[in-house]
Amino acid sequence: MRVLVLGGGGQVGRALDARAGAMGHDVYAFPRDGLDATDEAMLRAALETTGAQALVNAAAYTAVDRAESEPEAAHALNADAPGMHARVAADLGLAYLHVSTDYVFAGDGRVPHKESDPCAPRSVYGSTKRAGEVAAWRAGGRVAILRTSWVFAPWGNNFVRTMLRLAAARPELRVVDDQRGGPTSALDIADAIFRMLPKLADPAEAEATGLFHFQGRPAVTWAAFADAILDEGAKHGHPRPPVVRIATVDYPTPAVRPANSVLDCARYARVFDAAPPDWRLALPGAVAALLGESKA
Positive/negative CA dihedral, 139, 144, 150, 154: negative
Asked whether the beta carbons of 150 and 221 are under 8 A apart, the reply is no
Distance between alpha carbon 227 and the CA centroid of its chain, in Å? 22
User: What is the chain's percent helix, strand, coil content, to nearest 5?
Assistant: 45, 20, 35
Look up residue 78 and give its DSSP letter.
I
The angle formed by the CA atoms of residues 55, 160 and 268, to the nearest 5 degrees, is 40
Residue 127, burial from CB neighbour count under 10 angstroms (0-12, 13-18, 19+): buried
Report, as residue numbers or ranges, the catalytic residues. Answer: 125
Q: How far is Cα 119 from Cα 101, in angstroms, rounded to an integer?
A: 11
